[in-house]
């Protein structure tokens, strides 16, 4: 006689999902309390795989240095590559240097240019992403991979749906970004899936001084404050 296997029903499956809420809450509380004190900042995104000798690394150092000299702190994901370059430039200028670190199976390790009291660790990507947006007055997006595109398009979506206040988004590297933007205009916009004004806050530049000019220009008529 064949023995029937017993399959658990959904109501019999035990999980720890409910208890995870408290850990998530703790990450939000810690992030809010510590980042509410940092002042005006710009979040910088880009590839963790960009080496120190790469032109984009060196460009990012100069971008963040000039932003720090203009009075903006720098927020990065705290890891290597472009993140390290962003914190490094802030450090060179004596500016605020924030790192929002996350535990990953590869690529991620804290870089040495983060202010000791402004290094935060996260287990949850979605909590970390809230911090990037809530405490930044602008996004500077260097060439990167899927994670960089994720941050870029989430910010555009939040602004488009009026879930956050409008802020400038600066893409650095015309050669890298223009193919994507050409596709957005020729395909998404042409199909009516987005509106022309959805792209109004996106600027593509190549020089550090242009990054500063775009962000400073936006805030001539807008108040610097958290975005939620």
| Residue 11 confidence (pLDDT) above 70 | no
The C-alpha atoms of residue 101 and residue 122 are separated, in whole angstroms, by 6
Pick from 114, 80, 86: nearest CA to 98: 114
Q: Is 3 contained in some domain?
A: no
Q: Which two tokens stand for residue 129?
A: 């992403």
* Arithmetic mean of pLDDT over the chain: 90
Q: Is 90 contained in some domain?
A: yes
The pLDDT tens digits of the residues spanning 52-74 come to 999 999 999 999 999 999 999 99
The pLDDT tens digits of the residues spanning 104-156 come to 766 557 899 999 999 999 999 999 999 999 999 999 999 999 999 999 999 99
Is residue 70 exposed (0-12), middle (13-18) or buried (19+ Cβ within 10 Å)? Answer: middle
| Residue 2 confidence (pLDDT) above 60 | no
Output the pLDDT for position 4: 53
Q: Is 7 contained in some domain?
A: no
- Answer yes or no: are the C-beta atoms of 94 and 82 closer than 8 Å: no
Q: Is 228 contained in some domain?
A: no
| Domain around 40 | 21-216
Q: Is 224 contained in some domain?
A: no
The C-alpha atoms of residue 97 and residue 68 are separated, in whole angstroms, by 9
Number of structural domains in the chain: 1
Q: Is 2 contained in some domain?
A: no
Pick from 109, 95, 96: nearest CA to 49: 109
Q: Is 39 contained in some domain?
A: yes
- Answer yes or no: are the C-beta atoms of 74 and 222 closer than 8 Å: no
Q: Is 222 contained in some domain?
A: no
| CATH, residue 123 | 3.40.50.450
pTM of this structure: 0.88
Region 35-61 average pLDDT: 96
The C-alpha atoms of residue 155 and residue 136 are separated, in whole angstroms, by 11
């Amino acid at each position: 006689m064949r023995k029937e296997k017993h399959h658990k029903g959904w109501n019999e499956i035990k999980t720890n999902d409910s208890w995870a809420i408290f850990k998530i809450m703790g990450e939000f509380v810690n992030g809010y309390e510590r980042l509410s004190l940092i002042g005006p900042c710009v979040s910088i995104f880009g590839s963790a795989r960009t080496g120190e000798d790469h032109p984009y690394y060196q460009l990012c150092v100069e971008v963040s240095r000039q932003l720090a000299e203009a009075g903006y702190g720098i927020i990065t994901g705290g890891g290597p590559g472009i993140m390290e370059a962003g914190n490094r430039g802030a450090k060179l200028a004596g500016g605020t240097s924030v790192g929002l670190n996350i535990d990953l199976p590869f690529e991620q390790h804290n870089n040495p240019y983060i202010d000791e009291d402004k290094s935060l660790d996260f287990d949850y990507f979605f909590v970390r992403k809230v911090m990037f947006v809530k405490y930044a007055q602008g996004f500077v997006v260097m060439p990167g991979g899927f994670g960089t595109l994720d941050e870029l398009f989430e910010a555009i979506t939040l602004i488009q749906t009026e879930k956050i206040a409008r802020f400038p988004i600066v893409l650095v590297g015309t050669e890298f970004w223009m193919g994507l933007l050409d596709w957005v205009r020729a395909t998404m916009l042409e199909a009516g899936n987005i509106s022309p004004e959805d792209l109004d806050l996106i600027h593509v530049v190549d020089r550090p001084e242009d990054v500063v000019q775009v962000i400073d220009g936006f805030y001539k008529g807008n108040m610097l404050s958290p975005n939620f």
